[in-house]
Structure 1
């Protein structure tokens, strides 16, 4: 595989981790995919993206079901085929769709279906980081124009929210990485049906 494709796959894989929530996967868009039929029938197939974003969007939909996804080792063979993927044409589309899926996943998993400490860490962390950055940049620009350096207190009023904000965001990411689905969705559904039948 050409080095530029290896780099592109690495970047794409990292973006997919953010948007899908499956942090332990790598190169999920190579097209080698298998889904259990009991899981596939719960997927909204009419809403899944087509073309090159297909596999990535499936992962996002699987995460909303809390389905388990694993990497399957395979030996990829590349011959003289020429890829039709034009990076310059899809990079913008991919970025927008990744951001959209990330926002949906966070809303579904941390606010609509469940709430945890991570539900507080993310908005508070982003607020502190943004407010500290805006405060610091505005006073830095002001000191450039006036020639008067900012006091230590002013610097700390900017630095402290930024530090706390970064810590809270990192704590949220740690929680998000740890919450990768581990219990097979179709087995859980089968157990629920069995218990319902027994009653």
Structure 2
């Protein structure tokens, strides 16, 4: 694309120079009028070429664009909030006496889902038709953040320390949340959210670069 633009510019310049010299060699009034018209056409052509080239100037910034997003995995991650209810039934038996209890645990989890943006893990390519970012599918990029924990004990039993059971349940939440997070990262809606977040950053970054007039379609390809 860059070579083509250069060739167009050189050709236009040579044509303009040749036309200018030819017309100046004649003093015919008709030639003078034609000269004025040709100058106007050349000016319009030059302006149009420059205008069109600005629409593909973004391709000159692909390398710097990759550098701009490299290492920004957590910064560009999508935040997903989910609420859960876990019901635990506990059974105990002592001296031939059976006892059971129920614990209801309510908690919220914030997941950070995004792309691996280490330099070797993705690529940015493009041409006049658009930009393609090739990378791995979204994944958890941080440990799930668990909060807003509350519990209910609708049924208490003998030989059961409910507080101890609640503490044990809370300690198991991280492992459970990570498994849930891995499943969440594969949801189509979450993948679309990650694409939108990274796409918005790319469009905003490219729009701020010199002489970029239009940002084309940005697509994502997965390895």
| Greater fraction strand | 2
TM-score (norm: length of structure 1): 0.28
TM-score (norm: length of structure 2): 0.25
Kindly indicate whether structure 1 or structure 2 has the higher relative contact order, using CA contacts under 8 Å at least 6 residues apart. Answer: 1
Q: Which entry has the higher C-alpha Rg, 1 or 2?
A: 2
